[in-house]
Amino acid sequence: MISAFAELKESREHLISLFSTGAISEHFQENYTDIMDQYFRRSLQLSKTGQQLFKEKIPCVFMAVGGYGRMELCIHSDIDILILFGSKMPVRAKNLSDEIFLPLWDMGLDLGYGIHVP
């Protein structure tokens, strides 16, 4: 099974290739937003910490904010994401953010995030 990160990298490179050849322009921002959405969904499902949170039924929401939340991502846009947990911050919240965010920073993406409880 392909990792969420490998899928993101491949999809992102393909989208850039389509854009650079003029094959896609009108819906680039929406397509790139969809690619990032898919990364966050898959990485949460596949991460060790995400699986533990699901198993323990700990509520967790990933919320896109800023340009990402408005579906206005460009290739060099910063990606702003907010992670909300239920009534209490789980001990593994840092582990989850490391598993999901470190690959994005390694890729050179500009990521802003917050982890909160309501």
Is the four-CA dihedral 17, 22, 25, 31 of positive or negative sign?
negative
Q: What is the pLDDT along the chain (118 residues), one digit of tens a residue?
A: 679 999 999 999 999 999 889 887 788 999 999 999 999 999 999 999 999 999 999 999 999 999 999 999 998 999 999 999 988 899 899 999 999 999 999 999 999 999 999 8
- CA dihedral (92, 98, 115, 54) in degrees, to 10, reads -50
- 0.85 exceeded by pTM: yes
The domain spans of the chain are: 4-116
Q: What φ, ψ does residue 96 adopt, rounded to 5°?
A: -60, -45
